Structure 1
């Protein structure tokens, strides 16, 4: 990097520190501020207050606990002419409100959702990326800097879209964790070693992950029977075996039954030839 825009990082928790170390390792001069005094990063300039940190920088990256923390840290701070990149986890509506708040104070705003855990930051081989939404001009001006900690994925001008994508991806991950937990629970009390089962589980989940493209195509076309290999009638009937096996193994079915109940409702509504995409319609309120 031959041209260095002055830069400040607000927040030195686990993720903020990982971001800061990545920028410093890339030769990026950095001013930092943390709500709890005493925490810093080697090689960074430490500001005594958020206002002091922001005053000396054009690019301000915020990575704090939550949206309320962002508001508290920047309360009364002059943001005129600043480029604010908020990497604090928030909801879509919070991100939109924070964008309007920043713009009313004369700043450009970009919201971000970090799809990584701290050890993945600054390590391109991990596949880590950060979702961004809001000011496209801000992103293009600072793309070289923002691309240092992780890959850059721009999802639109709506400031809430990064948070929306973030939560959608995390929600899918949470569902996967539920299935993984149930699978390992079934093995408890048997001679099947978890370490022996893990490669089978990982390969199976990887193979099944491709189904998301079929779901997307069905949603786009409106044809929920398109490309269906195992229809809803077959799957609902097969669910009985899953539930009985859990009972035999002494495992609660509470992680499975909510989704199975939705499958049964969709089947009862006359959609036997569909896959599970129709469940999405049941979730919309």
Structure 2
């Protein structure tokens, strides 16, 4: 099953889809040489999507039982359904945002429709360093995943039913302590209801109703699963400082101050945060960094 897509002018493929994979190595996906391979558990069954740039177009090819579903959604996964209407005018409200919006005008926000897979990663990323979280993510995917269809050696994201059936102590050797594991198990049990959500607002309500899942994790999920450009990761360790420094020259900021500074960009507040990250904007760092630990050794 294949489909040809026409991206917008100046479209930046790699920058648009890079957020779908954890850094360095993702067992469920591969991005290299202008091609993306992504394994998904679609409603129609296991599938692998291949996206490749060919003569100014994107060619989407599906493999597996869910090939039709994943190819039909390929434009959303590539970010081609991202709606930037009105953002140019909003971006002009701050010179730095306006400059970054021009520099990264070809970057689009993907919308995978895959809630549980992104929620798995968000739960693991809570209260630990990215290195710890991504290490656990890789171990869980390899431990519970199954071979994905297609010619590339990928694994399917863990089946929520398989996650929900595991006792919490089975995740300890994978580097996840009891608190995050319990949140993950609750999310797995609710995965079917989360998959039925019509939009990011409904998904946010249902996710944050689960103990152990707050607004930060919900925002991380809906930005990728629904392509929500307004989702702000409230509760993040770095983003409030980054926003305060970038938009007001203040080296430190709270969540309330961050939201105040982002208010002029309502409708695209999450997009502004992404632009600051892509532009390499960071607040000054004071004090020691959080240590990288291994809960598997505790």
TM-score normalised by the shorter chain: which range applies?
Answer: under 0.3
TM-score of the superposed pair, with normalisation by structure 2: 0.26
- Does 1 or 2 have the higher relative contact order (CA < 8 Å, sep 6+)? 2
TM-score of the superposed pair, with normalisation by structure 1: 0.27
| Structure label with greater radius of gyration | 1
